[in-house]
A and B are shown apart, each in its own frame.
Chain A
Amino acid sequence: MNYSAAINTQSALPASNALLQVRDLHTHFITDSGTVKAVNGVSFDIERGERIAIVGESGSGKSAMAMSLLRLLAYPGKVVSGEINLAGRDLNRMSERQLNQIRGHEIGTIFQDPMASLDPVMRIADQMILPIMRHLKMSASKARAEAIDWLARVGIPDAGKRIDAYPFEMSGGMRQRVMIAMALSCRPKLVIADEPTTALDVTIQAQIVELLKDLTEQTGTAMVFITHDLGLVARFAHKVGVMYAGKLIEFGPVKEIFAHPSHPYTQSLLDTIPPVDQPERRKLAQIPGFPPDMKLPMVGCAFKDRCAAAHERCFRETPELKSRGLAHRAACFLPEGLGEARRRDMEPIPTLARNSTDRVVVEVFNLQKHFTGRSLVPWRQPATVRAVNGISLNIREGETLGIVGESGCGKSTVARLLLGLDPVTSGDIFVDGTAQMVFQDPQSSFNPKMSLFDIIAEPLVVTGKGNRAERTARVHELLAQVGLDESYAKRYPSQLSGGQRQRVAIARALAIKPSVVVADEPTSALDVSVRAQIINLMVDLKRQLRVSFVFISHDLLTVSYISDKIAVMYLGSIVEYGPADEIFRHPAHPYTQALISAVPVPDPVAEEARQKVPLSGELPSPLDLPPGCAFASRCPKATALCRAERPVLQAYSGSREAACHHAN
């Protein structure tokens, strides 16, 4: 390292109360094909004990910015210039050695994937105790007691024993708790959390967020929280910074930004989220186009090409982050951002006349799917997982059924059974016509060696529909229906963005005019603005083609927005089933209530007012289900009756069904 710089790390900035001052930070990734300017002049302050959320879509530079604060960038990333001032010292001018004293001690970090950030071959104790001994100068036995204390504080039961466990012996939520305990154990002044809950289920996410909030409040630790989930921001943060193309384009107190966003990007971003309560359904806002290529030099505002309010000045000058009242700053020339143009494309969706005589296209009766393991000795019963444990559903023409539940509840198994991909154990599935599928992972859903034409035409070729000319016409028609140009037919999957891939997946699913399309988490791998486009597309197609959808997701807001009916699943059974609006507004089953309260809502005022019933504990093992209600182990209302007798799905308030002893 540079020695002269290492000695003088005294900051040139005037002293202030702020814990961390970031000034004009630039981070570049130097690649073969050019320099990617990932962070492009970011400045902000963090006060003591303050929680700051940095939001942005993938590629906006939010993670690169956060990692730059501790110079934890992966090759070929490099902090090019800027000042990172922590209590009078400039971290950017420190040597690696000096910085190592800060990392973990004064600034803790929590990463997205707790499996990758905990060493799989080391016990928790070995990973936790050493940093405590080193940074807090404690003896081994005292450090161990301290570590156990922290594990208990983050809610790990039997912490004294669990400290000697290996990471793989814990669930994802538990590992993230361990990460939090590790990050806080050296009493840092600041914690940087990079999407700490993205890999977790919504109920576990709610637990982790509450935990982080409580602990940072108790210890007075400040926090930088990187996320793409605006709902989480509203629930969690004091201040929020919105990043776009490597720059902060809006920064300020969370309530202020959500109530009066003044940058067009923030405004559109907020409008892309399905609203919680809406008397009439409107389309979601769309942000057209793509983020700019950060290898190219930027003239003018980075958002100009996607902005409805862009004018001549936006192409000439780059707007600075300027004050918009108390602590609120935005980088836009227009005082109101989009102003009148905001929400212009959010047309109301006309409600479809629906009646009970509509054709039933899918009927499922008492469906069961068991996965049986192999027993080591022939006289012992092999272990059986009851992935789907007797569910009954029906879907009418043009109707959308949403299936929600935590991972492991059997919702994806139901999808595979509907599509005929796996044989059923018992029960009946009746599909009038064919079922087609849209998958979650846009990466692996296409054969990389096939052109889009071949991909979309495959169902037609396999089922022997039409001749070459007819198929070509049909592929072009399908591409147009999903909003893609004919020229895309010649492209290959790797040339597409995530949103385009999902459009192609929908086109392929529609090729043979199926009666029902099963979409398993079709939007969860997409960025929020792209997600809105795909949801709008599905809503349009549902209306135009009267095709039925089964929409499977853990994202309750999206499911309730797009669905007519919802089935809430817990450990292979449906616990609540009925009209979407009704269930979302007045959930009857305690599990549905917990799920809905776990969903963060992108409105800080509403978030504050909401009563939170975070679900304690985790999903019990499906290998040995209790005799009574499967949810009894986590239910706040559970009684002796619940533990003894399994509730069945019964009619509730006329239009829906719930499986709970206490609902009726």
Chain B
Amino acid sequence: MTQETLALSARSLPRLNWPRFRGAGRLLANGHIRLALAILVPIVLLTIFRPVLPLPGPLDTDLRAMMQPPSLEHLFGTDRMGRDLLSRTLAGVQISMFVGFAVALVALSFGLIMGTLAGFFGGVIDRVMMAITDIFLAFPSLLLAIGLVSVMGTGMLPVVLAISLSDVPRFIRLQRSLVLSLRTRAYIDAARTVKASQFWLMTRHIVPNTIAPLLVATSIAAANAILVEAGLSFLGLGIMPPAPSLGNLIRDGQSYLEQAWWISTLPGVVILLIALGLHFLSDGIRQVLDPRSRK
């Protein structure tokens, strides 16, 4: 495109930056973000308010109502022990969300700190860190997680650790590349001419400008963590029954797929919705922050 038309279209686009507190309205104006919120907010609210909802507990068995199809009494039906599947699914969502959130937090904080250091200082620090991340990236993430869980045992903490371990190197790489592209900006040079400290440069000039792309990656990582947790639990390596998790709910139901489809299917649909919601969210954030993707 020519300079002229670029200048014209640049004028018609909204402002590039995202000053504090002014972003909320712009985020909500984005279709993808509204869609993401429409999916995620009800699921989160139901999960939070499950204890006060008129539902049987996730571990309460009712031997008079085994393997009942979805009905008004049990919206998601019941399993072979007569446990209410809606209640169990929501309890599973709670665990999934916790895993997703924990993994996102661990990956974000480690990635942010180590990636910034590697990208900013370069040299030996960078080479050592990149060598380590390369080793971790050489393993498929699910296999790495399976290996770790089988060494550390099952449960919530090993699952979170296992998934984080495969996400952290990715975040380090991402943050490093963002920092590298920012490191040569003129405003960094301008700050260096007044002898600004390295800490000042990193915290004032570099990190604030990497937050937006990192947030996009974080919401995808959260979705991915939820899926991997479900996968591990499905394989019997994650959350152990009778505690419900979306993965082991599906595993429970797989032997009854022909008699009771709802045991596996409905938690599966919930996983799908959560993952979809988080992906829409990351897409939306990316669109709001990057005006080039707008028409």
Contacts and interface: CB of A to CB of B under 8 A. Distances in A.
Interface in B1-19: 1-5, 7-9, 11-13, 15-19
Contact of B17 (A112, A434, A493, A508): A493
B8 to A, nearest CB: 5
Contacts of B194: 434, 436, 458-459, 462-463, 512
Interface string B188-200: 0111111111001
14 contacts: A29-B8, A31-B9, A34-B12, A36-B8, A63-B2, A63-B5, A64-B4, A64-B5, A194-B2, A295-B12, A421-B189, A434-B193, A445-B186, A512-B194
B12 A33 contact: yes
B205 interface: yes
B195 to A, nearest CB: 7
Contact of A492 (B19, B197, B204): B19
Contacts of A508: 190
A29 B190 CA distance: 38
Interface residues of B, number: 35
Given A31-B12, A447-B208, A74 B17 contact: no
Given A58-B7, A64-B8, A449 B17 contact: yes
Contacts of A36: 8, 11-12
A517 B195 CA distance: 16
Taking chain A's interface residues, is the majority helix, strand, or loop, or is none over half, making it mixed?
loop
A419 B193 contact: yes
Given A64-B8, A459-B194, A512-B194, A449 B186 contact: no
Contacts of B294: 32
Interface in A396-452: 416, 419-421, 434-437, 439, 441, 444-451
Interface string A166-194: 00000000000000000000000000001
Contacts of A448: 16-17, 209
A34 B8 CA distance: 11
Contacts of A293: 11
Interface in A359-408: none
Contact of B190 (A34, A60, A74, A439): A439
Given A195-B3, A512-B194, A444 B187 contact: yes
Contacts of A638: none
A53 to B, nearest CB: 15
Contacts of B190: 437, 439, 445, 458, 508
A63 B13 CA distance: 20
B1 A462 contact: no
Contact of A437 (B7, B13, B193): B193
Given A439-B190, A445-B186, A63 B4 contact: yes
Interface in A481-528: 492-495, 508, 512
Contacts of B196: 458, 462
A36 to B, nearest CB: 5
Interface residues of A, number: 54
Contacts of B11: 36, 59, 293
A73 B5 contact: yes
B185 interface: yes
Given A459-B194, A462-B200, A463-B194, A74 B5 contact: yes
A84 interface: no
A449 B209 contact: yes
Given A446-B187, A449-B208, 10 more contacts: A29-B12, A38-B4, A74-B5, A434-B194, A439-B189, A441-B186, A447-B187, A451-B19, A462-B196, A494-B15
A293 B11 CA distance: 9
B4 A458 contact: no
Contacts of B3: 58, 63, 112, 195
A458 B9 contact: no
Interface string A6-32: 000000000000000000000001011
A647 to B, nearest CB: 34
A62 interface: yes
Contacts of B2: 63-64, 67, 74, 111-112, 194
A59 B9 CA distance: 10
B295 interface: yes
A545 B16 CA distance: 35
Interchain residue pairs A-B with the least CB separation, the first 3: A63-B4, A63-B2, A445-B186
Best-buried of B7, B17, B186, B209 by chain A (most CB within 10 Å):
B186
A447 B205 contact: yes
